Amino acid sequence: MAGALLLLLLAAHTGSVTQRLLSRVNQLAPGGIGATALQRAEVGSLVAELEAQRSPFAAPATQDAQVALSGLWRVLYADAPPPSNGRLGPFRGLAFQDIDVGGGAYVNDLRLGDEAKPWLRALLRANWEALDEVTWRGNFRT
């Protein structure tokens, strides 16, 4: 798996692979924090299987991005370093990505404490460039 794998399961991906992936990810700590090499390999294999399936979005990084990606997503699993996985130093929280395709930007949003009223939030803003129809390269700004 190249780069950060942020598991954003789209409603369009249904079926047994999606269910197996969700089941596996839900057995791990939130964000995948502390996953072993074997557990990361299992998740990676399921993600590769899911990616090999035909998606209703032919170009999720470009022309289909608005419908495929816009919105607030909770990060269930990440192989990215903190805080993308929900960890900030010794603290563990909930990680989200707020994707604004129309504005060409997204925010990694780590919330410590209550999800609706956290006692601390860490925001990392980024924009992106589409490398092809299915791949973004993130450019972090803050």
Band of pLDDT at residue 3, cut at 50, 70 and 90 = very low
Half-sphere exposure of 84 (CA within 13 A, CB side): 16
Task: Tell me if residue 24 falls in helix, strand or coil.
Answer: helix
In this predicted structure, what is the pLDDT of residue 14? 56
In angstroms, how far is the first alpha carbon of the chain from the final one?
25
Band of pLDDT at residue 118, cut at 50, 70 and 90 = very high
Residues 80 and 84: their CA atoms lie apart, in Å, by 6
Please choose, from the candidates 99, 94, 98, 136, the residue with its C-alpha nearest in 3D space to the C-alpha of residue 112: 94
Beta bridge partners, 15, equal none
Report phi then psi at 26, rounded to 5. Answer: -70, -15
Residue range 39-77, pLDDT digits in tens: 999 999 998 998 888 777 888 888 888 888 899 999 999
Mean pLDDT of the chain, nearest integer? 85
In this predicted structure, what is the pLDDT of residue 142? 65
Check if the beta carbon of residue 46 is closer than 8 Å to that of residue 79: no
Does the pLDDT of residue 10 top 50, yes or no? no
Share of the chain above pLDDT 90, in %: 50
CA 88 to chain centre: 17
* Sequence-separated (6 or more) residues with CB below 8 Å from residue 71: 98, 99
Answering whether pTM is above 0.85, one says no
Check if the beta carbon of residue 94 is closer than 8 Å to that of residue 115: yes
Does the pLDDT of residue 5 top 60, yes or no? no
Radius of gyration from C-alpha coordinates of the chain = 15
